[in-house]
């Protein structure tokens, strides 16, 4: 099961994230997401656990836990296609050249 972890301290590294979840079962991968431009943590990451039952227990026990002074949010990660699409068209009016009144 893939787990989404947010509101992490910017000091948390991949290995720290792995250590938070290891007591609950086998951690296949743990990855903090970094900003492409700065390389700095974006404050969230993903943990993959091989056993779904262990993953559910980790989610139940770690959600709302305090890590490095921050209350983290831990949920089952949703596949990209399940997320609402972002609209970039901006909507809104503007100047209309074809507004001939004659």
Looking at residue 81, what is its pLDDT? 72
* Helices marked H in the chain: 14-21, 52-62
pLDDT tens digits along 20-53: 999 999 999 999 999 999 999 999 999 999 999 9
Residue 40 lies in a domain: yes
CA dist., res. 12 & res. 14, Å (int): 7
Looking at residue 9, what is its pLDDT? 96
CATH number at residue 71: 3.30.70.330
Q: How far is CA 2 from CA 8, 58, 59, 64, 65, in A?
A: 17, 12, 11, 18, 19
The total of structural domains in the chain comes to: 1
**Domain that residue 25 falls in:** 2-79
Query: From the CA atom positions of the chain, what is the Rg in Å?
Result: 20
Looking at residue 77, what is its pLDDT? 95
Residue 96 lies in a domain: no
Overall pTM surpassing 0.85 (yes/no): no
Residue 12 lies in a domain: yes
Residue 64 lies in a domain: yes
Residue 93 lies in a domain: no
Q: By the 8 A CB rule, do 58 and 24 touch? A: yes
Looking at residue 80, what is its pLDDT? 76
């Amino acid at each position: 099961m893939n787990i989404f972890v947010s509101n992490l301290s910017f000091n948390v590294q991949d290995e720290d994230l792995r250590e938070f979840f290891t007591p609950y079962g086998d951690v296949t991968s743990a990855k903090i997401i970094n900003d492409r431009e700065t390389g700095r943590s974006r404050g969230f990451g993903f943990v993959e656990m091989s056993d779904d039952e262990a993953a559910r227990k980790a989610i139940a026990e770690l959600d709302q836990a305090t890590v490095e002074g921050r209350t983290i949010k831990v949920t089952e990660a949703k596949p990209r296609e399940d997320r609402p699409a972002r609209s970039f068209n901006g909507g809104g009016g503007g100047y209309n050249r074809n507004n001939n009144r004659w």
